[in-house]
Amino acid sequence: MGSKRFGSEQSPEKIAVPRNSNVHLKEKNMINGMTGFGSSQFSWGRVKGVVEVKSQNHRYLDAVFFLPIGFAALENKMRPVVAKKIERGRVTISLKIMERSLQKLEFNKDVIKEYLRAAKGLKQEFGISDTLLFTDVVKLPGVVEAKEISIDIDELWPAMEKALLVALNSLLTMRKSEGRSLFKDVSSVLLGMRAQLRSINNRSKVIHREQKQKLSTEEFLSFQKGTDINEERARLTHYIDEFKLLLKTAMGVGKKLDFVAQEMQRETNTIGSKLQDKLVSNAVIAIKSKIEKLREQAQNIE
């Protein structure tokens, strides 16, 4: 999935990475993935059912509800509970009613009277002596009606809320597990980028030494100015550090990570355009490939 693009003119100093006391560099506050599933059963009076919650990747929080007829009013109560637990992802919440004996029987007395009146007329007309029994009457069409008892959503909600929270917590456990896997994978990519950046820096020094011997002082100063990548290298190092820090943040940072990766791409392109060298170009291509990997993984992070 694509990610919302931010203006490339924003400088790295404007990237707001949380550094307050609520952000701890502990695994329990590590990033979360966006894939998960959870379910829980509930019981309220004669109503028994199952709440299921599943989530997938999405740019924002998109909660979709599948509720049986008569339970639609629950959505307004369930939606804020979901939003409090999940910041990003397409979340599907479904309610399945397994048992619902909420019916009452009513006898249509007017219909019964009509049947009896008709039966009496037939007996008199044709001399029928059989007696019409109660068991015969209740089997006649329209005599007995089964009506559903309306459900009080406010009374049902406490049991439903408890089940929803259990299902959500189970889903979050899976998302945390995915987050740990993503953290390991992305950390490995960042290490590879650092290695390539060191290679570029070393090659840059070699190139400048070689050119200093070949060019006049004035020519070398011009060459040095046009091929100086210290600023780009410093910025790219800064972005790698910021990316690593964001990975250790419990809050939803997927969109922020994608933005940082875009800024990495910009600095890497500049390095490649300044230093026209085969070894540098190979390293730039390797870094750009890793940045693309980071952007792909950012789509999986809450």
The pair of structure tokens assigned to 100 is 């619902």
Q: Could you tell me the pLDDT band of residue 29, with boundaries at 50, 70 and 90?
A: low
Residue 66 lies in a domain: yes
Residue 134 sits in the same domain as residue 193: no
Q: Could you tell me the pLDDT band of residue 25, with boundaries at 50, 70 and 90?
A: very low
**Separation of alpha carbons 79 and 227, rounded Å:** 55
**Separation of alpha carbons 245 and 16, rounded Å:** 11
Residue 191 lies in a domain: yes
Residue 244 lies in a domain: yes
Per-residue pLDDT at 230: 94
Residue 169 sits in the same domain as residue 97: yes
Residue 91 sits in the same domain as residue 163: yes
Residue 123 lies in a domain: yes
- Domains identified in the chain, total number: 3
Residue 4 lies in a domain: no
Residue 79 sits in the same domain as residue 126: no
* b/e sequence 92-116, b meaning 16+ C-beta within 10 Å: bbbbeeeebeeeeeeeeeebbeebe
pLDDT tens-digit readout, 157-182? 999 999 999 999 999 999 999 999 99
Average pLDDT (137-158) is 78
Residue 6 lies in a domain: no
Residue 263 sits in the same domain as residue 227: yes
Angstrom distances, CA of residue 254 to CA of 3, 58, 59, 301:
9, 10, 8, 5
Average pLDDT (27-44) is 87
Per-residue pLDDT at 105: 67
Residue 188 sits in the same domain as residue 238: yes
Per-residue pLDDT at 249: 80
Please answer whether residues 228 and 200 qualify as being in contact, where contact means their C-beta atoms are separated by less than 8 angstroms.
no
Q: What is the overall mean pLDDT for the chain? A: 85
Residue 141 sits in the same domain as residue 50: no
Per-residue pLDDT at 69: 84
The pair of structure tokens assigned to 56 is 């997938």
Residue 202 sits in the same domain as residue 71: no
Give 142 or 84, the one with higher predicted confidence: 84
CATH number (domain holding residue 72): 3.30.230
Domain boundary among 125, 158, 173: 173
Q: Could you tell me the pLDDT band of residue 10, with boundaries at 50, 70 and 90?
A: very low
pLDDT tens-digit readout, 191-250? 999 999 999 999 999 999 999 999 999 999 999 999 999 999 999 999 999 999 999 886
Per-residue pLDDT at 283: 96
Residue 248 sits in the same domain as residue 291: yes
Residue 5 lies in a domain: no
Residue 262 sits in the same domain as residue 207: yes
Lowest mean pLDDT among 1-5, 102-106, 157-161, 261-265: 1-5
Chain centroid to CA 44: 30
Per-residue pLDDT at 41: 96
Residue 206 sits in the same domain as residue 293: yes
Residue 1 lies in a domain: no
pLDDT tens-digit readout, 100-112? 655 566 778 888 7
- Domain range spanning residue 126? 103-148
Residue 213 sits in the same domain as residue 277: yes
Does pLDDT of 82 surpass 90?
yes
Per-residue pLDDT at 89: 94
